[in-house]
Amino acid sequence: MGMKVNHEKQVAAANDVITALEAEFSGEGLSCEVRMHAGGKHQRSYVYIDCPPSIWAIVAETLSEVHAVDHCSMITGIHWPEKSPEMEWQVVVHLMRMSVRNPPSNEGIVMPIISDASILQGSDMPLEFEVSIAIPETRNPSIPSVQHVWVGADWNEKETWDLVGIDFEGHNEMRRVLQPHETPAGFHPLQKQHKLRYHEFNEMYDDAQGFARKSEDIGKVK
Amino acid sequence: MAEMWISMGPQHPMTHGLWTLKVKIDGETIVDTIPDLGYIHRGVEKICESRDFTQITPYCDRLCYASANTWSHSYIYAAENLLEVEVPERAEYIRLIAVEIQRIASHLMWLGAYCPDIGNLTAFVYCLREREMMLDLLQELGGSRMHYNFPRIGGVKRDLPHGFAMRCRAKVKLFLQRIHEYEALLDESTIFLIRTQGVGYAKPEEMVNHGVTGPNLRAGGVNYDVRWAHPYSVYDELDWTPSVERSSVKGADCYDRYRVRLDEMKTSAELILQALDGIPGGAETFHESGDPALIAKAPARASDGQTGFHHFEDPRGESMFYLAGGGDERGKNPYRVSIRSPMFITIPYAAKCMIGYKIADVPAIMGSFDPCIGETDR
Dist. CA B64–CA B73, nearest whole Å: 12
Q: What is the pLDDT of residue A222?
A: 43
CB contact under 8 A, A196 and B47: yes
Q: What is the CATH number of the domain that holds A116?
A: 3.30.460.80
In a domain, A203, yes or no: yes
Which positions in chain B touch A130 (Cβ < 8 Å)? 309
Does A217 lie in the same domain as A157? no
Q: Which of A44, A163, A198 sits opposite B230 (nearest CB)?
A: A44
Question: Chain B contact for A103, CB < 8 A?
Answer: yes
Give A131-183 as a DSSP string: EEEEE-S-SS-EEE--TTT-TTHHHHHHHHHHHH--EEET-SS---SSS-TTP
Radius of gyration of chain A (CA): 22
Alpha helices in B63-189 (DSSP H): 68-83, 89-117, 121-142, 164-187
CB contact under 8 A, A100 and B222: yes
Interface test with B, best of A74, A84, A93, A161 (most B CBs within 10 A): A74
In a domain, A2, yes or no: no
In a domain, A42, yes or no: yes
Q: Is the pLDDT of residue A198 over 60?
A: no
B40 burial type by CB count under 10 A (0-12 exposed, 13-18 middle, 19+ buried) = middle
CA distance between the termini of chain A: 53
In a domain, A221, yes or no: yes
Q: Is the pLDDT of residue A119 over 50?
A: yes
φ/ψ of A10, rounded to 5, equals -65, -45
Does A219 lie in the same domain as A165? no
Banded model confidence at residue A219, pLDDT cuts 50, 70, 90: low
Answer yes or no: are the C-beta atoms of B235 and B227 closer than 8 Å: yes
Answer yes or no: are the C-beta atoms of B61 and B306 closer than 8 Å: no
Answer yes or no: are the C-beta atoms of B247 and B219 closer than 8 Å: yes
User: Which residues of B, range 182-211, sit inside 8 Å of A by Cβ?
Assistant: 203-205, 207-211
Which positions in chain B touch A114 (Cβ < 8 Å)? 223, 241, 244
Average pLDDT, 10 consecutive residues per value, chain B (378 residues):
85 81 90 90 88 87 89 92 88 92 93 88 89 92 88 89 91 92 87 89 90 91 87 86 85 90 92 91 85 85 84 91 82 88 91 90 89 88
CB contact under 8 A, A112 and B208: no
In a domain, A196, yes or no: yes
In a domain, A1, yes or no: no
Better-predicted residue by pLDDT, B272 or A203 = B272
In a domain, A206, yes or no: yes
pLDDT digits (tens, 9 = 90+) for A77-95: 999 888 888 888 999 999 9
φ/ψ of A160, rounded to 5, equals -65, -40
DSSP structural state of residue B213: -
pLDDT digits (tens, 9 = 90+) for A29-56: 888 888 888 877 778 888 999 989 989 9
Q: What is the pLDDT of residue A48?
A: 92
By DSSP bridging, strand A127-135 and strand A142-144 are unpaired
Compute the average pLDDT of residues A128-153: 90
Does A160 lie in the same domain as A137? yes
Dist. CA B119–CA A110, nearest whole Å: 29
Q: How many structural domains does chain A have? A: 2
Q: What is the pLDDT of residue A211?
A: 53
Give B72-107 as a DSSP string: HHHHHHHHHHHHT----HHHHHHHHHHHHHHHHHHH
Interface test with A, best of B233, B243, B309 (most A CBs within 10 A): B309
Does A217 lie in the same domain as A118? no
pLDDT digits (tens, 9 = 90+) for A168-197: 988 888 889 998 888 888 889 888 888 775
Banded model confidence at residue A215, pLDDT cuts 50, 70, 90: low
How long a stretch of residues is chain A? Answer: 222
Answer yes or no: are the C-beta atoms of B7 and B20 closer than 8 Å: yes
Does A161 lie in the same domain as A83? yes
Considering only alpha carbons, which residue of chain A is nearest residue B153?
Answer: A39
Dist. CA B185–CA B193, nearest whole Å: 11
Nearest to A10 by CA among A131, A130, A123, A132: A123
Q: Domain containing A212: what range? A: 192-222
Dist. CA A125–CA B253, nearest whole Å: 28
The count of CB pairs under 8 A between chains A and B is 192
CATH architecture of the domain with range B44-342:
Orthogonal Bundle (1.10)
DSSP H or E stretch at residue B55: helix B53-61
Give yes or no for a cis peptide into A103 (omega within 30° of 0).
no
Compute the average pLDDT of residues A106-127: 79
Does A92 lie in the same domain as A156? yes
